[in-house]
Homo-oligomer: A and B are copies of this chain.
Amino acid sequence: MSKLKLKIVIVGAGNVAWHLAKELQKNDQEILQIFNRSVKPAMTLARKLNCDFTTRLDALNTNADLYIIAVKDSAIEQVSESLVLENKLVVHTSGAIEKDCIKHERNGVFYPLQTFSKEKKLNFKNIPFCIEATKSEDYNTLMRLATLLSPIVYNINSHQRKVLHVAAVFACNFSNFMYMIADDILQKEKIPLEILQPLIKETASKIKKLKPKEVQTGPAVRGDKSTISSHLNYLEEGAHFDIYKILTETILDKNKNEL
């Protein structure tokens, strides 16, 4: 098989567009153009890539093989409708949006299952790609493209991807929010979050080999009511109190149901 060399237009210039465009270029794909509504991020990214950019639909480059829409979820449908293209593969990169939100006949999804922040470099070799396409030749193209970037590629349909996205919100967004609450609590006592780093690392690494259920520790799973009430007492009222309470009660309930 000949080496893959696609001409690509990136629609959007946010976190995902940023990381993905750079990685695609690094892997010998040709980024023809960045298309984005506001000029500044488009220009910044285009300069980084040394490619063309536009903010106007009538200046959209229509000669690409692949159009990657990496804009916020609520804009995907509208943005895709505005792209007037003939017989072109158009994909989005979202975990939450159905493939068929893109009305082009040759549509698909190219979803990198990772958390992106501009300030944080990523090793794409550790990013699972979830791909989907209406036409099998497009699926094959996306599969080849994903495999260029990462060894972890899954065939995931829109329903599975939605479920995966809900699970990812718990595993990533909500666990990060737990770190944020821990940081808030420690800040009041002028203790740096650094002291919890080894614990956070160990907690995340434990579940590589064991199920989260098998390694649940702490006062709730031990049913240690005196520590629980001392903690609630310390938290007093407010959001942290409510969150501690509902999570502890759910852990206690799950345990009880298994006895």
Contacts and interface: CB of A to CB of B under 8 A. Distances in A.
Interface of A: 15, 72-74, 96, 113-117, 119-120, 122, 126-128, 152, 154, 159-160, 162-183, 185-186, 188-189, 191, 193, 195-222, 224, 226-227, 230-231, 234-235, 239-240, 242-244, 246-247, 250-251, 253
B168 A126 contact: no
B247 A198 contact: no
A177 B221 CA distance: 10
A136 B189 CA distance: 24
A91 to B, nearest CB: 18
A216 B173 contact: yes
A96 B199 contact: no
Contacts of A182: 167-168, 170-171, 212
Nearest to A222: B72
A185 B166 contact: yes
23 contacts: A73-B226, A116-B217, A120-B210, A154-B195, A163-B185, A163-B234, A164-B191, A165-B227, A166-B185, A166-B235, A170-B185, A173-B221, A175-B200, A176-B207, A176-B212, A177-B251, A179-B212, A180-B213, A182-B212, A193-B211, A203-B204, A204-B204, A239-B253
Contacts of A243: 174, 246-247, 250
B163 A183 contact: no
A96 B226 CA distance: 10
A176 B208 CA distance: 12
Contacts of A242: 246
